[in-house]
Amino acid sequence: MGPARQVEVERVTTRIVVDLSAKRVTLFDHGRKVLSSKAAIGAPATPTPDRQLLRQPAPDPDRQERPVRSGAVGVSAFSNVLTGWTQGGPIAIHGTNAPWSIGKAVSNGCIRIPNRVMAKLFRLTLSGTPVLIRV
pLDDT along the chain (135 residues), means of 10: 72 92 97 97 91 59 43 72 75 90 94 93 86 89
Choose, from 18, 91, 110, 113, the residue flagged as catalytic. 110
Nearest one of 99, 97, 103, 56 to 78, comparing CA atoms: 56
**Residue 67: what pLDDT?**
39
Contact by Cβ (8 Å): 127, 64: no
**Residue 57: what pLDDT?**
55
Cα 132 to the chain's mean position, in Å?
10
Cα 19 to the chain's mean position, in Å?
12
- Which amino acid appears at position 42 of this protein? G
Residue 110 bears catalytic tag: yes
**Residue 56: what pLDDT?**
62
Structure confidence by residue, pLDDT tens digits, 61-75: 444 444 344 466 777
**Residue 43: what pLDDT?**
95
Q: What's the maximum distance between 2 C-alpha atoms anywhere in the chain?
A: 51
**Residue 68: what pLDDT?**
40
Bridge-based pairing of strands 72-78 and 105-107 is: unpaired
CA distance 93 to 37: 12
Residue 30 bears catalytic tag: no
Choose, from 94, 112, 125, 133, the residue flagged as catalytic. 94
Domains of the chain and any CATH numbers: 9-134 (2.40.440.10)
Contact by Cβ (8 Å): 109, 91: yes
- What's the pTM value of the predicted model, to 2 decimals? 0.80
